[in-house]
Amino acid sequence: MLFRSKRVSAVAVDEIAIDISEEFGIRKLHFGGDDTQSAMRVSDPSELVLAYTRCLFGFLLFIEPPKEALLIGLGGGSIAKWIHARLPQTRLTCVELHAQVIAVARSMFALPADDERLSVLAGDGAAHVAGLPDGEIDLIIMDAYSATGIAAPLASTEFFASCRDKLSDNGVLAVNLWGSDKRFSSYCERLSDVFDGRLLCLPARQKGNVMAFAFRRNQNSPQWARLTERASRLEAEYELEFAEFIADLARMNPHNDRRLFI
């Protein structure tokens, strides 16, 4: 069934305006405006259409694929679908505040049903993190931008500290930010403070998204040569533009001609 800017009715107890548009084989999810929250190629539902979703997986330049991962903010499920399809060693829990977003992701964006590697919950992301045991999550993804920005409880120093405590020894917190957001610098400062400066920013080449990676432990300032070699292997395995990620890391992070400082 094809849609062009068709409104999906909201549940009264959890009201959010959801619009779905489709053009040139790309189906998009919007939350009450023109900004695209998720996009899916109908002929290839697991493809990462939006650049920022591909940038997210830049963390693989630094750590191995996670065994336990948490995604806060589901949208159309692009990130969850890719992890489910391409990272078979990863068990992913997704927490989405709005139950009808989950319903739309499953009915119109090909999000698979829960199984032993995927669990999708309707709930508050900050509360979910607070209830987790310390030190057991390898990757936390915070992708909860709405039409009005990041909800304050998901961008506070306290929340970032809670995420840090839940990460495993070599874990990483990945936060989707918007470079033109007037609070962008404040968010980065909070992340840097909480993670003792272990922060990298990877800008997406489309739009203004910036993926911030905050690491539980020091990454030993990897050499560009080593990162380039790893990028080549990752590109062959996952078909994402890891070489471009390396070049873009140099745009926003301290480095010299031999090393990335992190």
Classify residue 17: in a domain, yes or no.
Answer: no
**Residue-by-residue pLDDT tens, the chain, 262 positions:** 333 333 333 333 356 789 999 999 999 999 876 688 999 999 999 999 999 999 999 999 999 999 999 999 999 999 999 999 999 999 999 999 999 999 999 999 999 999 999 999 999 999 999 999 999 999 999 999 766 779 899 999 999 999 999 999 999 999 999 998 999 999 999 999 999 999 999 999 877 899 999 999 999 999 999 999 999 999 999 999 999 999 999 999 999 999 999 9
Classify residue 164: in a domain, yes or no.
Answer: yes
Classify residue 19: in a domain, yes or no.
Answer: no
Which of 114, 124, 143, 196 is the catalytic position?
Answer: 143
Classify residue 235: in a domain, yes or no.
Answer: yes
Classify residue 6: in a domain, yes or no.
Answer: no
230: containing domain? 45-252
The CATH number linked to 171 is 3.40.50.150
39 and 78 Cβ atoms separated by less than 8 Å: yes
Both ends of the chain: CA-CA distance in Å? 48
Question: Residue 6: helix, strand or coil by DSSP?
Answer: strand
Question: Residue 85: helix, strand or coil by DSSP?
Answer: helix
Classify residue 7: in a domain, yes or no.
Answer: no
Can you read off the two tokens belonging to residue 91? 């068990």
Residue ranges of E strands in the chain: 6-8, 18-23, 26-30, 36-41, 68-72, 91-96, 118-122, 137-142, 145-146, 149-150, 167-178, 199-203, 209-215
The domain tally of the chain equals 1
User: Quick count: other Cβ atoms within 10 Å of Cβ 88?
Assistant: 9
To the query of whether residue 143 is one of the catalytic residues in this protein, the response is yes
Classify residue 8: in a domain, yes or no.
Answer: no
- Using CA atoms, how far apart are residues 77 and 27, in angstroms rounded to an integer? 12
243 and 58 Cβ atoms separated by less than 8 Å: no
Q: Which residues contact 6 (CB under 8 A, 6 or more apart)?
A: 19, 20, 21
Classify residue 173: in a domain, yes or no.
Answer: yes
